[in-house]
Amino acid sequence: MTSRRNFIKLTALGTSALSMGRFPIPAANPRPQPKQTPALGESPIVLSTWQHGVNANAEAWKILSTGGTALDAVEAGVKIPEADPNVRSVGYGGLPDRDGHVTLDACIMDQDSNCGSVAFLEHILHPISVARMVMEKTPHIMLVGEGALQFALENGFKKMNLLTPESEKDWKQWLKTSPYKPIINVENHDTIGMIAMDKQGHLSGACTTSGLAYKMRGRVGDSPIIGAGLFVDNEVGAATATGVGEEVIRIAGSHLIVELMRQGNSPEDACRIAVERIIRKQPVKSKEIQVGFLALNKKGEYGSWCVQKGFNYAVYSNTQQNELIDGKHSL
Ligand code: SD4
């Protein structure tokens, strides 16, 4: 919602292939043909976290409804809030760290378990596209900080100032008292996590954020961590997370949810069990934090669960045209 301010495998490569810059970047993630026949349910379908998921879903739906891939859809979808200065928790306009730097985390994962990630990246409008390029053009999965920026610039991304006057003003106001206490559902929990299934029944996901507002410099949350902020297994389902990343990383949240679905749990039950695990591990802290999970299985069934009231998500399919749904909660 707008009032809310507003997550090597070196196949046959020799060590010389690792010397990026001196050697051409090898095609590190050759695209294998899908190994399994996709199970078609409600597809295509796209889900994403929070109110800003509505605009993001609308963009993704343009691709999904015309037969495009889930991978293209999730990238295009999350680029909308990345570029929106009114979304104060993702990309351009995101609230900075406590030293005034906007630092971005993002990851993407496709139906063949290819994945790419950037963390602690500054000055780049679309970290999700850099993450995709890491996935497609390097033998690695994750690039961070200076190296991620260097890689982005070398690949045609332009450097820009992501700190808007509005975010700068809020940061300066915050500096006057410097209360480092996350506020539930406000300011700190509006990562966009998007998961989708395309007409072919293949799953992909993307997650992108400016992270917790006024975080310590260098802090990285769950959003760029494969298995924490996002996980996709095309045999089973996909999951993504939003909220206090430390709590999501602690239980490897998105991977846990996909494994719970593999064991036969519905998407909603899988999300609920993950939330209950967070609460069990950190019962006192859980009263003060928010974490929300979103999951989709191969049948096109989806579900969500969060710690506290207040999390919502958007769903776009042939039968649900961008509905905003409140996540069920434990506390
Ligand atoms: C993080 N999960 O960096 C993110 C924060 C966020 O919605 O805004 N989540 O921990």
Distance separating alpha carbons of residues 139 and 131, to the nearest angstrom: 12
User: 188 pLDDT exceeds 50?
Assistant: yes
Phi then psi for residue 216, to 5 deg, are -65, 145
User: 229 pLDDT exceeds 90?
Assistant: yes
Q: What percent of the chain shows pLDDT beyond 90? A: 76
Task: Give the ligand 1 atom nearest the CA of 49.
Answer: 7
Catalytic residue status for 240: no
75 by Cβ neighbours in 10 Å (0-12 / 13-18 / 19+) ranks as buried
Distance separating alpha carbons of residues 129 and 118, to the nearest angstrom: 10
Q: Are 167 and 107 in contact (CB under 8 A)?
A: no
**Cα 290 to middle of ligand 1, angstroms:** 10
Distance separating alpha carbons of residues 219 and 223, to the nearest angstrom: 12
Q: Which residue has the higher pLDDT, 125 or 186?
A: 125
Mean pLDDT computed over 309-321? 94
Q: How confident is the model at residue 169 (pLDDT cuts 50, 70, 90)?
A: very high
Among 15-24, 51-60, 64-73, 179-188, the range scoring the smallest mean pLDDT is 15-24
User: 301 pLDDT exceeds 70?
Assistant: yes
Domains of the chain: 45-326 (3.60.20.30)
User: 28 pLDDT exceeds 60?
Assistant: no
User: 73 pLDDT exceeds 60?
Assistant: yes
Beta-carbon contacts of 70 under 8 Å, excluding residues fewer than 6 positions away, are 44, 46, 64, 110, 111, 196, 197, 198, 202, 203, 204
Q: What residue owns the CA closest to ligand 1's atom 3?
A: 211
Catalytic residue among 191, 208, 209, 242: 191
- Tell me the two tokens of residue 312: 């919502």
Among 22-26, 154-158, 191-195, 294-298, the range scoring the smallest mean pLDDT is 22-26
pLDDT score, position 38 = 41
Give the number of other CB atoms < 10 A from CB of residue 272: 22
As a whole number, the mean pLDDT across the chain is 88
pLDDT score, position 177 = 83
pLDDT score, position 43 = 87
User: 178 pLDDT exceeds 90?
Assistant: no
Q: Are 327 and 49 in contact (CB under 8 A)?
A: no
The owner of tokens 């979103």 is 294
Q: What residue owns the CA closest to ligand 1's atom 6?
A: 189
pLDDT one-digit tens code per residue, 30-48:
544 444 444 445 789 999 9
* Residues near ligand 1 (Cβ within 6 A): 89, 188-191, 209, 211-212, 221-223, 242-245
- Mutate-to-test residue for ligand 1 from 118, 189, 214, highest number of ligand atoms within 8 A of CB: 189
**Cα 269 to middle of ligand 1, angstroms:** 22
